[in-house]
Amino acid sequence: MDRGWGFLIGLLGAVWLLSSGHGEQQPPETAAQRCFCQVSGYLDDCTCDVETIDRFNNYRLFPRLQKLLESDYFRYYKVNLKRPCPFWNDISQCGRRDCAVKPCQSDEVPDGIKSASYKYSEEANNLIEECEQAERLGAVDESLSEETQKAVLQWTKHDDSSDNFCEADDIQSPDAEYVDLLLNPERYTGYKGPDAWKIWNVIYEENCFKPQTIKRPLNPLASGQGKSEENTFYSWLEGLCVEKRAFYRLISGLHASINVHLSARYLLQETWLEKKWGHNITEFQQRFDGILTQGEGPRRLKNLYFLYLIELRALSKVLPFFERPDFQLFTGNKIQDEENKMLSFPLHFDENSFFAGDKKEAHKLKEDFRLHFRNISRIMDCVGCFKCRLWGKLQTQGLGTALKILFSEKLIANMPESGPSYEFHLTRQEIVSLFNAFGRISTSVKELENFRNLLQSIH
């Protein structure tokens, strides 16, 4: 096993069911307590506590994960930001400079990344191409009309996407371009108002599993909700089955994580010489303070930790896929390729509890779950800020890839020890989005520590 892979596998594989602990209690009536006093102890539906995650992420995982994401394989992401919104036409494009995305020039992307259509070693790629050529020669009827051949291609695409939780971009489209994620960081762009609200309202109201008896908006940033009503609101959530409850918490956690990023990389000052980005404590409090949000803020943060465990669990599950001897995170740079390897973590969330009831009912519920999330991935094409759209698409694809992994346990277990896996595979787009999405969640957990310290320092 090469040095880079062993380095990261050893980091996470050595962490086994860490003992639970509790952070120091903060003095009462402080801003820090109002945001964080309820964000402690064990998480619902999980067997891990917040304090353990903080210690593990902030001091062991975060620094090394960030280094991994700076490598060529993970920094270049191919995306189509020109896809039309499939749900409505009245999209107001953000005209601010900070909303713009600068795509890569052709010579800026490593040749190994541009030419790599598969995720295996060069020897395995050659074998795949030979097999596929033989299949084409033996199976394709050249007498098929062009229309029929297109239909067959569409059927193949449908089959390939039947287990996916996201609707991915067609990276072969002329509109798809490589973006250097390090040069287009996620941060506050000024994109807000009715257009931004519409995105989240549609996600919550039309794609979460909302009982018809609930009249209150599911969007947790909806204003005018009193604390007494908040308790009633969450009583129905606790009454949902674990699948529907988890779906809502995943969306809420993603929403919270994005808001943490925007608060941590906020435009604090702008002059004709430079821009100063940094932590906006007021913005953070408006989104997560227990009093200012009528009790919502701490719940959002706990859902962020829930999302962290879900994505970390997926990385643990997919470890055999990356451990096979012929697998490479191929960039063409041999030194970098040898330094990139994967992550593992103990069982903190049991996805086997999902869809475990009656087979017919469970199959329908899983399909509803998948289709709801695919719909959310399509909504990202309706975001008017291109930088927000870029990071929204990447993070939803990353979470969708994590869900695909969690519900492909048998396929992963049956993979061959070497060579291509036809039953379960991940594209380079899925791998890049999976790691970068988890990198965003990891960053959020780290930033919570920073905000906690900042809030303590002002009192």
Residue 96 labelled as part of a binding site: no
DSSP conformation letters of 308-360: HHHHHHHHHHTHHHHHSTTB----S-HHHHHH---------S-GGGTT-S-HH
* pLDDT for residue 253: 93
Token pair 């346990």 in the structure block, residue: 409
Cα-Cα-Cα-Cα dihedral sign, residues 419, 422, 423, 428: positive
* pLDDT for residue 58: 92
* pLDDT for residue 179: 96
The pTM of this model reads: 0.79
Residue 378 labelled as part of a binding site: no
d(CA 32, CA 302): 15
Residue 370 labelled as part of a binding site: no
Residue 16 labelled as part of a binding site: no
* pLDDT for residue 344: 45
> Any idea which residues carry the catalytic annotation?
385, 388
Look at residues 184, 124, 110, 25 and name the one whose alpha carbon lies nearest to residue 324. 124
Per-domain boundaries in the chain: 31-115+171-457
* pLDDT for residue 332: 63
Question: Which DSSP state fits 87?
Answer: S
φ and ψ at residue 179, rounded to 5 degrees: -125, 135
- What is residue 49's three-state secondary structure? strand
DSSP conformation letters of 247-305: HHHHHHHHHHHHHHHHHHSEEEEE-SS-EEEE--HHHHHHHH-TTTTTTHHHHHHHHHH
Residue 348 labelled as part of a binding site: no
Angle between helix 242-264 and 296-317 (nearest 10): 100
Specify whether the CB–CB gap between 382 and 91 falls below 8 A.
Answer: yes
* pLDDT for residue 330: 60
Q: Which residues of the chain have pLDDT under 50?
A: 1-28, 117-125, 127-128, 131-132, 134-144, 148, 151-161, 223-233, 341-349
